[in-house]
Amino acid sequence: MSQPGIIRSLGAHDVLSAVMIEQAGFETVFMGGFGTSASMMGLPDLNFLGLMEMVEASRRMAHRLDVPLIADADTGHGDLHNVMRCVEEFEGSGAAGIILEDQAFPKRCGHFGGNRVIEAAEMVSKFKAAVDARNDPDFVFIARTDARGTHDLDEAIDRVNRYCDAGADVAFIEAPRSIEELETICRRVEYPKLVNMLAFGKTPILSAAELQELGFKFLVAPIDSVLITAKAMREMAQVFKRDGHTKALQAQMVDFDEIKDILGLKDYLSLHEQFKS
């Protein structure tokens, strides 16, 4: 379970990984564009997925989970009317909230480099439109800025404060470069703050306790499930090609009974007994 006062979330790249994250006891699940693009299309996070592909991925995941799902809505997929539709679609999918970011199209992973951002005033308008489109007042908006990479930390801090002033609930500055920058964010951002602990990324990796002490409210590890799965799949393919079977890897597998329990097989097989006449 999470440390008191900080909410930890793992990124899920498909529904099975989301189910296993929930079963591990996490209070939320995060569905990011990087993992979804990798799992659905085998492609990098470079806008290959459109709005409805992400919404449908969110719908499948949210309907299988009992804990809240936070989904990556990228830039809102267009102008103000697109942002409003984006909110309506994700809210209708069962997601508990979305991340909206200020990158210019075509957006890319914030740790790739070469990013561009729109004017802050334009993003403020997007958040005002998003708030207007929201039906459920508990639906959460996380305001992400990539201005740390395109401008500087001062600009990024100014932007997330403005976005939250316009109605966003949580502030998220992508890719701070040092512990000192993380400390500065917590001192100068007036709203609940999310931090991205991206494996092999630009931000130093700290523990949940350390991040909580700095003042962060939310912590996400967005792509670890993709990285672990990719390594395991590559090793499995190599072993099977070498041996013609995967016996050498059985200690790294859940067994057949375990996967049936993870998927809830007994619950479904018991339905005939439960509802028999």
Give dist(CA 200, CA 68) in Å, integer. Answer: 27
Give dist(CA 21, CA 14) in Å, integer. Answer: 11
The reply to whether 1 falls in a domain is no
**Domain count within the chain:** 2
219 and 234, same structural domain? no
Q: What is the pLDDT of residues 62-79, one digit of tens each?
A: 999 999 999 999 999 999
Q: Which domain holds residue 261?
A: 230-274
Q: Average pLDDT per run of 10 along the chain, which is 277 residues long?
A: 74 98 97 96 92 98 98 96 98 98 81 84 98 98 96 98 98 97 97 96 96 97 97 98 98 96 95 86
The reply to whether 109 falls in a domain is yes
**Percent of the chain whose pLDDT exceeds 70:** 96
214 and 176, same structural domain? yes
Phi, psi for 100 (deg, rounded to 5): -120, 135
238 and 189, same structural domain? no
257 and 154, same structural domain? no
Q: What is the pLDDT of residues 117-142, one digit of tens each?
A: 999 999 999 999 999 999 999 999 99
178 and 244, same structural domain? no
55 and 32, same structural domain? yes
The reply to whether 126 falls in a domain is yes
133 and 237, same structural domain? no
The CATH number of residue 75's host domain is 3.20.20.60
